Structure 1
């Protein structure tokens, strides 16, 4: 590590630290308030393994000079400071920028200005909008649109501390008594104990810039690739304020990161990885799937993993996601069936990975999950669809029947949820888990005691897991189809009968379901809509929807209907 002093245009000295690979792309890290350059230690330690990393204490913070008076902290001067650092550490060529909070605010001023035009390669912004963009954004929210008005009010509620920083003496007193540091720690445990000196001098950032810029915004465009990492739990800067900037950042990528305002300290590996992906791409590397998603939105380039995709609902769902531009990973216990689905997907131009996996085998699922992560990355959407049918009286259902049914219908879902939810949590960019249950989960029948038990368990698991994973921005949806024309009828076992009767009932059931005429592609459409809206429970087919309502309004009626013999 090398240290050097850089003198700004007004004579203020800035302490700069340079680490990493000398001949690699240079990335400059700019911290916010009330931090100093040490805030980047975790991120810098990861980035310096591949890049040349520059960190400096902004004026008023750390070991850099601390001029008095708010005039020394205007954005134009802060932009000159960044330019002085860039000129010193990289006299020729371009640098990449990574900034947080007030560091991001001042970096936006540089990115959209003329002083460093042609010297910047990319910008990753965290929890700090351009004040000019913010001023224009607030004005746009005032138009008669309930959603916009709500967004503005929520952001103002998050920004009340800014008004307090304008008061004379009070914020200084809070800093000197330690009350301000304690308050920040309670609001965001990821924040480090701030320096009183940094807190006091940094007040000038707010007093010199905020109301001037917000009241008379002059938004300018960014001409370089921009990536916004918006923490979902930021108590100071809301996601809409950070991300609704397409008009000023034409080459924009937005990624919602699960974390708090100080996610830089909380999850340095997530920040370093996201920043490195943009740097690598701008330097000529392939654009990562995450960057493509962040740029295009919707289902485009989402990685969707579907079990039991060799036929029926699984295959139809894979084809529906492919039509929306998603990349697919599909599994089935029948390798040839999975291969057939993969061919159909590739014919649509989709990127596909196919695997033969027994979803009931915990060890096999764990190995498969690791393989998917290494070859494709972490799935954005997981559809646990693999399942089998079983019908007949409880007393004719053997322990072996129960074990096989529970292994596939329940343990298969548990295994999928367990391994992929953990991957999603570690990635910290949210996701969606879809568990295919059945209307039998809430529509009892005396001939479906075993099957309905497993599907009821899947429904309850989904509801509980949804509550648990909400803080990780991972949605969980239970899909509950009714009578759907798939090949499950030809493979369902009917207990307590001989082979001849078994085949007769399978054939009769298949005819009944075919006559019903509700195909798996319609369930697939319901699945996509449920993912888009993050629904907790999505019944599919009219009878499934009606039964869900009746289960809540007139459960006694359904209990009476359960006594009917509907054996085909």
Structure 2
């Protein structure tokens, strides 16, 4: 089986084995070599390779004893890091004889690649290295040694935690049993285990060679782990720039293993992602984007820019879509996510305003930002938007349903058409966003977060805002219901309830039952009052990011919103009496 349709295959002989090597893309472009882990074959990279092939020469090979590569004989002693380094150099010389290659490794592919990047005989052959879910055995050995020699409660806890995560390593050192398990029931059940536990989508991975791949790969551990743990190299310094992508939900490796890398890696770039171990399969979009950015920066001689805003460890590289992003809370929220390193899709019915927000997002730190004009009240327009965003940019990680309009006036002055306009934007706009983008989050199976911007008016009645308050109360209840439904799928839902915030909604809100000049006067008056309050939308944006990080169900932002929230639960009669007060005119 080839890596992808259209891939070119060649055989490379080295050290008594024959390696199956697949290539995609233009050989004249920078070469990226992808090294797979255990118990995988090169097909683990198929979706990442396809995304990279348009801009790079992409190479993936089956490690000896895996996939369509042959196994050494005897197996014992045939998988040492020294021999794996020979294999890599043979592949690099075959696919890129005149230029250094950019190396990418996952799991045991990363373990090997750390060796390649820190031994002297590969200097000049590696332009950069991207590591995922696989430490250097030498660095790991020193990490353990420091904690054993100078134990503290924190260090002992780290040792015990990683020891528990490494349970499979002990089993793989037992004779015969791993081979019997993989060639028997475990090999048959492994695809289902990946699907259920790691949320790896179904497809052409893993391949039918899995049982023999896993049986042969047990020698990766037996030939290397104990010797390096006992006697780690003291010169394991990287001679190329390194990018480390750390999945924060990795079941097998603690993120603490990467804490002390700066002493070994002079040129280090860190990335984190809210995902499990098999990110080449579960998040190929993000992995490919980061690899591409890193390779491009190394080729150009520039360093990737670090996020400057709060929570970059949570949002860096994530795809965030914000509706009503042209101004006010939506624009501030888009810029806050951009400063945290997120990729931003700015949606607004005003196309020019959306473009301005996207441009500002890129200046604020977003690696990528796009403007998409859409009216959230238009179901067909939202369906087209969801199709376009998913196809062009990927599945949204964080959805912020912010778009809304204001309407003031008594109930009997509010016409049926007034009600329809408010509910179409404030409620149906949220429903469309949750249904279309939330469904794709759920189908992806990697979690996410939905933020619905409601209002303090959702729980604070007012004789002047019957339609607006009703729409926002519905958004609040929708958020609570959706949160309950999606909890088991790792998707959080938050209702954010700002109070009096200084945004353009005050100057554009409609007033039922009055003529044009009177409506203009009331709009100016409302804008003036909110201006005097002067609560900036940037504070709401910070509350949005914080709510996602903490997975909070309901967030009342301003002091008056928090006070009303408490009264609604403890003394609702007080709010009812306040609601009767006629607003000044």
Bin for the TM-score computed over the shorter chain: 0.7 to 0.9
How many residues align? The count is 560
**Residue of structure 2 aligned with 1:455, choices 467, 472, 488:** 472
CA distance 1:166–1:321, change in 2 (3 Å):
closer
**Residue of structure 1 aligned with 2:93, choices 78, 87, 92:** 87
**Is structure 2 residue 281 aligned with structure 1 residue 248?**
no
* Alpha-carbon contact 1:446-1:562 (below 8 Å) kept: no
Q: 1:209 — aligned with what?
A: 224
Q: 2:213 — aligned with what?
A: 198
| Whole-Å separation in 2 of the counterparts to 1:427 and 1:285 | 36
CA distance 1:146–1:478, change in 2 (3 Å):
farther
* Alpha-carbon contact 1:252-1:295 (below 8 Å) kept: no
Q: 1:385 — aligned with what?
A: 402
Q: 1:397 — aligned with what?
A: 414
| Whole-Å separation in 2 of the counterparts to 1:17 and 1:423 | 34
**Is structure 2 residue 116 aligned with structure 1 residue 99?**
no
Structure 1 stretches lacking a partner, 5+ long: none
| Whole-Å separation in 2 of the counterparts to 1:222 and 1:93 | 18
Write out per-residue CA displacement over residues 115-157 of structure 1, whole angstroms, 9 at most, x where no aligned residue.
2111012223333221223334456778888877666544333
Q: CA deviation at 1:54?
A: 4.0
**Residue of structure 1 aligned with 2:185, choices 179, 182, 187:** 179
* Alpha-carbon contact 1:94-1:120 (below 8 Å) kept: yes
Write out per-residue CA displacement over residues 155-189 of structure 1, whole angstroms, 9 at most, x where no aligned residue.
3332211112223444344345x133256445313
* Alpha-carbon contact 2:272-2:316 (below 8 Å) kept: no
Query: 527-536 or 436-445: which moved more?
Result: 527-536
* Alpha-carbon contact 1:304-1:329 (below 8 Å) kept: yes
* Alpha-carbon contact 1:382-1:434 (below 8 Å) kept: yes
**Is structure 2 residue 237 aligned with structure 1 residue 237?**
no
* Alpha-carbon contact 2:307-2:365 (below 8 Å) kept: no
* Alpha-carbon contact 1:75-1:209 (below 8 Å) kept: yes
- Superposed counterparts of 1:8-407, under 5 Å: 8=15, 12-20=16-24, 21-40=26-45, 43=48, 51-62=56-67, 63-68=69-74, 70-138=76-144, 152-176=159-183, 178-182=184-188, 184-189=190-195, 190=200, 192=206, 195-218=210-233, 220-231=236-247, 234-241=250-257, 245-256=261-272, 260-265=276-281, 271-272=287-288, 274-284=290-300, 292=305, 297=312, 306-308=322-324, 311-314=327-330, 317=333, 333=349, 358-365=375-382, 383-407=400-424
| Whole-Å separation in 2 of the counterparts to 1:309 and 1:51 | 34
| Whole-Å separation in 1 of the counterparts to 2:415 and 2:146 | 66
| Whole-Å separation in 1 of the counterparts to 2:561 and 2:583 | 19
**Residue of structure 1 aligned with 2:461, choices 444, 461, 470:** 444
Q: CA deviation at 1:89?
A: 4.1
* Alpha-carbon contact 2:131-2:242 (below 8 Å) kept: yes
RMSD over aligned Cα atoms:
4.7
SS in 2 for 1:66: coil
Q: CA deviation at 1:199?
A: 3.0
| Whole-Å separation in 1 of the counterparts to 2:428 and 2:155 | 44
* Alpha-carbon contact 1:255-1:294 (below 8 Å) kept: no
| Whole-Å separation in 2 of the counterparts to 1:114 and 1:544 | 62
Write out per-residue CA displacement over residues 520-547 of structure 1, whole angstroms, 9 at most, x where no aligned residue.
4443443454455554432111121123
* Alpha-carbon contact 1:59-1:67 (below 8 Å) kept: no
Q: CA deviation at 1:272?
A: 4.9
Q: CA deviation at 1:258?
A: 6.4
Query: 102-111 or 151-160: which moved more?
Result: 151-160
* Alpha-carbon contact 2:318-2:343 (below 8 Å) kept: yes
* Alpha-carbon contact 2:72-2:78 (below 8 Å) kept: no
SS in 2 for 1:86: helix
- When the two structures are superposed, what TM-score results if normalisation uses the length of structure 2? 0.76
| Whole-Å separation in 2 of the counterparts to 1:463 and 1:550 | 19
| Whole-Å separation in 2 of the counterparts to 1:80 and 1:369 | 47
| Whole-Å separation in 1 of the counterparts to 2:46 and 2:361 | 45
CA distance 1:182–1:224, change in 2 (3 Å):
same
| Whole-Å separation in 2 of the counterparts to 1:96 and 1:160 | 32
* Alpha-carbon contact 1:155-1:238 (below 8 Å) kept: yes
| Whole-Å separation in 1 of the counterparts to 2:472 and 2:463 | 15
| Whole-Å separation in 1 of the counterparts to 2:542 and 2:443 | 29
* Alpha-carbon contact 1:83-1:116 (below 8 Å) kept: yes
Q: CA deviation at 1:26?
A: 3.3
SS in 1 for 2:122: coil
